[in-house]
């Protein structure tokens, strides 16, 4: 056999063997073909580890014997909660419960302590109530009773006083905080400490009452006097870019605060 033909046959055999080996390797490296099972991508993201879920949520639940139940809940990073419910039209009927909550194994749902027995599916800035079996509510009630996260919240912040009646406050130390669980305010008026009550209504309305201070005397009481006077006048508030303003009707802000660093 001529040498040229022999070399051609050997070259064709080599190419054929290389092609077969490449095909086998490609098949063995394809994870979809291992044990004849489809390749699965595991997504480890859950509501618990991927969402900024801690914070304050608010909404109005349906009520057969009243105009609605205003529901507010605080979820803390240490897995404790405070739940407050007010039957609208019956403002003196306020129910407050505190406790711990647990996540389900999938990290998608939370269940409040046994004393409350509530369950919520945790979504992006929303809490969606679960039925008695721990399942998402469907049908006409699916979009009702949903609690929405308050992105601009009064709570959990130390508000530092920076302006009164449009003028900068040079006195350091004046601040106020809002207690979610019992609607109380605490703070310092630049000289004395104070405490009192606040009541919130629709449209960011707010009223302060029973504000009392300690009785220490200071060289300059002007900031304190103006601060306490303003708390008796304001009827609404606004929060924008971590700045809180207390207002009277649509007038210019009477007091302005910034989040304390």
pLDDT score of 242 more than 80: yes
Instruction: Report if residue 165 sits inside a domain.
Output: yes
Q: Report how far residue 186's alpha carbon sits from residue 210's, in angstroms, rounded to the nearest whole number.
A: 12
- 197 vs 42, higher pLDDT: 197
Same domain for 145 and 200? Answer: no
Tens digits of residue pLDDT in 77-133: 999 999 988 887 765 577 888 899 999 999 999 999 866 678 999 999 999 999 888
Measured over the CA atoms of residue 22, residue 23, residue 29 and residue 34, the dihedral's sign is: negative
Residue 255: give the domain boundaries: 159-259
What's the pLDDT at 21? 53
Instruction: Tell me how far CA of residue 224 lies from CA of 18, 47, 257, in angstroms.
Output: 89, 45, 15
* Global pTM value: 0.66
- 105 vs 150, higher pLDDT: 105
What is the number of structural domains in the chain?
A: 2
Residues 6 or more apart in contact with residue 70 via CB below 8 angstroms: 58, 59, 60, 85, 86, 88
Tens digits of residue pLDDT in 4-44: 554 554 555 555 555 555 444 544 444 444 455 554 545 57
End-to-end CA distance of the chain: 92
Chain centroid to CA 5: 79
Tokens of 163: 């302006």
Indicate which CATH number applies to the domain containing 143: 2.40.128.640
Instruction: Report if residue 5 sits inside a domain.
Output: no
User: 174 with 189: CB under 8 angstroms?
Assistant: yes
């Amino acid at each position: 056999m001529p040498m040229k033909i022999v070399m051609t046959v050997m070259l064709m055999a080599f190419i054929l063997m290389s092609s077969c080996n490449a095909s086998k390797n490609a098949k063995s490296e394809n994870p979809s073909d291992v044990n004849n099972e489809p390749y699965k991508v595991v997504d480890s993201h859950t509501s618990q580890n991927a969402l900024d879920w801690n914070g304050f949520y608010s909404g109005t639940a349906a009520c057969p014997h009243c105009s609605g139940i205003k529901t507010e809940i605080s979820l803390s990073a240490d897995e404790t909660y405070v739940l407050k419910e007010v039957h609208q039209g019956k403002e003196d009927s306020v129910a407050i419960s505190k406790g711990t909550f647990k996540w389900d194994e999938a990290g998608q749902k939370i269940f409040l302590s046994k004393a409350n027995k509530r369950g919520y599916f945790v979504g992006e800035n929303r809490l969606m109530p679960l039925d008695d079996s721990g399942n998402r509510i469907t049908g006409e009630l699916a979009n009702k009773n949903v609690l929405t996260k308050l992105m601009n919240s009064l709570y959990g912040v130390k508000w530092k006083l920076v302006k009164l009646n449009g003028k900068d406050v040079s006195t350091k130390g004046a601040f106020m905080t809002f207690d979610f669980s019992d609607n109380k305010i605490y703070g310092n008026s630049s000289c004395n400490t104070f405490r009192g009550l606040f009541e919130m209504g629709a449209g960011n309305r707010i009223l302060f009452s029973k504000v009392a201070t300690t009785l220490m005397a200071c060289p300059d009481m002007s900031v304190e006097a103006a601060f306490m006077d303003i708390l008796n006048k304001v009827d609404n508030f606004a929060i924008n870019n971590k700045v809180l303003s207390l207002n009277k009707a649509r007038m210019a802000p009477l007091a302005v605060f910034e989040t304390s660093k």
